[in-house]
Amino acid sequence: MFILNHFWGCAYTIADCFHRFMFSTLIISRIMLNLKRKGMRDMKVTIDRSGCISCDICTMLCPQVFRIADDGLAEVIAQPDKNNEACAAQAAAECPSAVITIED
């Protein structure tokens, strides 16, 4: 089998090089995937609408995520992304009925 002289003097076969390359690629792709998952793990917001008192606090704090629906109760219109996670969390913390739930 064809032998390559590596620059630091070790001898590798083409198969060795290929396996090392594939193993490194696999490890790096796993690390990148894990970082991506961690970074993109968005929160999930729900409202127990039966307890909503229509105070409008959540919609004022985070209108990108909450609105008052036609029935007069708050609803989630979009799950928060990185840009509005903070205001969604603040709305959950300040909801007087504590009916907004946030899951990570």
Site for ligand SF4 in 7-36 (CB under 6 A): none
Amino acid at 29: S
Rounded Cα–Cα distance for residues 9 and 38 (Å):
40
Rank residues 74 and 88 by Cβ distance to ligand SF4 and give the closer one.
Answer: 74
- Tokens matching residue 44: 């999930």
Question: Per CB under 6 A, does 87 bind ligand SF4?
Answer: no
Can you say whether residue 56 is alpha, beta or left, with left for phi > 0 and alpha for psi between -120 and 50 degrees?
left
Residue 66's CB: how many other CB atoms inside 10 A? 27
Question: Per CB under 6 A, does 47 bind ligand SF4?
Answer: yes
What is the smallest separation between the CB atom of 51 and ligand SF4, expressed in angstroms? 7
Rank residues 24 and 54 by Cβ distance to ligand SF4 and give the closer one.
Answer: 54
Question: Per CB under 6 A, does 78 bind ligand SF4?
Answer: no
What is the smallest separation between the CB atom of 100 and ligand SF4, expressed in angstroms? 5
Rank residues 58 and 87 by Cβ distance to ligand SF4 and give the closer one.
Answer: 58
